[in-house]
């Protein structure tokens, strides 16, 4: 059996390797593509599950100075890990009562409604100095942001912009991952019309998908999320991003079973020939979707090993009959995400999107941050 001393926690069910060199290469690729627009990093949900306190500093080192999270708590936790001159934005907006916290910590709430905008201006009055405003306008997604009549109302309020000088106007694309969707051009048109009502400010519109739309979509600041973490920015052509995540699980047990033997909860896997079944210590509690029961696979040396039966909470059974007897044993590793099985493939098998697979990655894995070949401890920076 191969030695496994490169697993940081030798008793973990699987090793998650996060390649920081691939992450920063992806940042450079987006930054070069959208220049002269600046590239911000979206690091909400713990940097899509990969660890915001490792990801954000690595991107700051690349020159990134704009970071977006979803919640104030995420911003507060991340602030000490960012350079003092980095801007930190809270996408979900300004919760009532959070005004002073944001102002004191220099955190920028994305103002998503008139009420939020007015509370931010009131805080500026209270502390006696101007606070920068980041406004989100709803250009068609109907999720967050000021609606057109609210933008018009705010535009009339000249005193408002003295207390909170407008720094950034942003909006979000609903269909950026479909470059051919006519909704993109329509949203762009509405974004420009709404921004024209407001005092001059920097503009931000594109997410990962938007970065791969024409330059007219890039404006001043692109908000890149999933593409930094290796997922394809859209469904067209080969994925231009470098894979960042690799997941390898260790075999706990291998057994031979006679023809007609059921496997797993509900005995939903049952072959008419003898089979060999290997069990790994990863389950739906680790973010491996139960929907992959009898659908997904693992890989060993390029051989596809189908998931046999239901995904359990803490384990998965694999049909390893395709391998020679004895080729695989306890302690050997199989690939769940890696060169043979991409994040996109796992998501497709599970009937979901790479975002959901990434953000579900469990806390029980042994995590290795490498700045070289994924899984190679000689390059680990832990
Ligand atoms: C999550 C999010 C992003 C990043 O989107 P990706 O598709 O992951 O690049 C950008 N902007 C807003 C408003 C978001 O909510």
Q: Which pLDDT belongs to residue 8?
A: 75
| Confidence check: pLDDT of 65 > 90 | yes
Ligand 1, closest atom to CA 208?
A: 9
pLDDT confidence band for 132 (50 / 70 / 90): very high
> What mean pLDDT is predicted for residues 311-340?
97
What are the b/e assignments for 321-335, b being 16+ CB within 10 Å?
A: bebeeeebeeebbbb
| Confidence check: pLDDT of 70 > 70 | yes
Q: Let me know whether 257 and 362 are in one domain.
A: yes
Residue from 103, 51, 40 nearest 74 by CA: 51
Residue from 320, 265, 313 nearest 287 by CA: 313
Given ligand 1 and candidates 112, 173, 207, which is best to mutate, with the most ligand atoms within 8 Å of its CB? 207
Binding site membership of 224 for ligand 1 (Cβ less than 6 Å): yes
Residue from 226, 231, 234, 230 nearest 177 by CA: 234
Q: Is residue 112 a part of any domain in this protein?
A: yes
Q: Let me know whether 282 and 213 are in one domain.
A: no
Q: What is the residue with the minimal CA distance to atom 13 of ligand 1?
A: 172
Q: Which pLDDT belongs to residue 213?
A: 98
Q: Which pLDDT belongs to residue 10?
A: 82
Q: Is residue 250 a part of any domain in this protein?
A: yes
> Which of 229, 263, 279 is where one domain is finished?
229
User: Apex CA 225: angle with CA 222 and CA 230, to 5°?
Assistant: 120
Q: Let me know whether 225 and 294 are in one domain.
A: no
Q: Let me know whether 84 and 168 are in one domain.
A: yes
Q: Which pLDDT belongs to residue 380?
A: 47
Q: Let me know whether 94 and 134 are in one domain.
A: yes
| Confidence check: pLDDT of 223 > 80 | yes
225: domain CATH number is 3.20.20.10
Binding site membership of 207 for ligand 1 (Cβ less than 6 Å): yes
Q: Is residue 312 a part of any domain in this protein?
A: yes
pLDDT confidence band for 108 (50 / 70 / 90): very high
Q: Let me know whether 253 and 192 are in one domain.
A: no
| CA 254 remoteness from chain centre | 34
Q: Let me know whether 205 and 279 are in one domain.
A: no
| Confidence check: pLDDT of 170 > 90 | yes
Binding site membership of 223 for ligand 1 (Cβ less than 6 Å): yes
| Confidence check: pLDDT of 188 > 90 | yes
Q: Is 99 helix (H, G, I), strand (E, B) or coil?
A: helix
User: In the Cβ-directed half-sphere of 199, how many Cα atoms lie within 13 Å?
Assistant: 17
pLDDT confidence band for 9 (50 / 70 / 90): confident
Q: Is residue 194 a part of any domain in this protein?
A: yes
Q: Let me know whether 219 and 125 are in one domain.
A: yes
Q: Is residue 8 a part of any domain in this protein?
A: no
Instruction: Count how many domains the chain has.
Output: 2
List the domain range (segments joined by +) for residue 301: 245-370
Q: Which pLDDT belongs to residue 371?
A: 80
Residue from 113, 74, 79 nearest 90 by CA: 74
Binding site membership of 241 for ligand 1 (Cβ less than 6 Å): no
Q: Is residue 4 a part of any domain in this protein?
A: no
| Confidence check: pLDDT of 13 > 90 | yes
Average pLDDT, rounded, for the chain: 95
Q: Let me know whether 86 and 172 are in one domain.
A: yes
> What mean pLDDT is predicted for residues 249-277?
98
| Confidence check: pLDDT of 326 > 60 | yes
Q: Is 313 annotated as contributing to ligand binding?
A: yes
Q: Let me know whether 158 and 304 are in one domain.
A: no
Q: Let me know whether 55 and 200 are in one domain.
A: yes
> Which of 203, 229, 255 is where one domain is finished?
229
Q: Let me know whether 86 and 225 are in one domain.
A: yes
Q: Is residue 265 a part of any domain in this protein?
A: yes
Q: Which pLDDT belongs to residue 372?
A: 60
Q: Is residue 127 a part of any domain in this protein?
A: yes
358: domain CATH number is 2.40.37.10
- As a whole-number percent, the residues of the chain with pLDDT over 70 amount to 95
**Interval 34-48: pLDDT, tens:** 999 999 999 999 999
User: Apex CA 310: angle with CA 307 and CA 314, to 5°?
Assistant: 90
């Amino acid at each position: 059996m191969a030695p496994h001393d490169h697993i940081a926690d030798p008793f973990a069910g699987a090793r998650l390797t996060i390649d920081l060199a691939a992450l920063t290469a992806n940042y450079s690729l987006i930054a070069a593509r959208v220049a002269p627009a600046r590239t911000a990093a979206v690091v909400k949900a713990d940097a899509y599950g990969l660890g915001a306190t490792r990801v954000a500093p690595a991107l700051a080192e690349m020159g990134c100075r704009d970071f977006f999270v979803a919640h104030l708590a995420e911003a507060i936790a991340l602030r000490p890990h960012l350079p003092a001159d980095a801007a930190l934005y809270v996408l979900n907006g300004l919760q009532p009562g959070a005004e002073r916290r944001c102002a004191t910590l220099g955190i920028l709430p994305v103002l998503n409604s008139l009420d939020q905008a007015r509370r931010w201006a009131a805080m500026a009055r209270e502390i006696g100095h101007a606070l920068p405003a980041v406004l989100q306008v709803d250009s068609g997604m109907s999720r967050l942001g000021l609606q057109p009549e609210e933008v018009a109302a705010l535009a009339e309020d000249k005193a408002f912009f003295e207390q909170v000088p407008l720094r950034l106007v942003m909006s979000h694309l609903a269909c950026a991952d479909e470059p051919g969707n006519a909704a993109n051009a329509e949203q762009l048109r509405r974004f420009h019309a709404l921004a024209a009502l407001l005092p001059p400010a920097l503009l931000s519109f594109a997410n990962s998908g938007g970065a791969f739309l024409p330059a007219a979509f890039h404006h001043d600041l692109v908000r890149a999320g999933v593409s930094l973490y290796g997922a394809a920015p859209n469904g067209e052509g080969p994925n231009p991003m470098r894979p960042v995540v690799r997941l390898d699980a260790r075999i706990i047990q291998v057994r031979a079973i006679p023809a007609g033997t059921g496997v797993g909860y509900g005995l939903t896997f049952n072959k008419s020939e003898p089979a060999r079944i290997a069990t790994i210590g990863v389950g739906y509690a680790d973010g491996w979707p139960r929907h992959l029961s009898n659908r997904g696979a693992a890989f060993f040396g390029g051989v596809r090993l189908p998931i046999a039966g239901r995904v359990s909470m803490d384990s998965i059974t694999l049909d390893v009959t395709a391998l020679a007897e004895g080729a695989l044993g306890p302690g050997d590793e199989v690939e769940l995400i890696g060169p043979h099985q991409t994040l996109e493939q796992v998501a497709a098998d599970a009937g979901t999107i790479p975002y959901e697979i990434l953000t579900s990655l469990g806390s029980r894995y042994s995590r290795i941050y490498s700045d070289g070949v994924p899984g190679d401890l000689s390059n680990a920076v832990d």
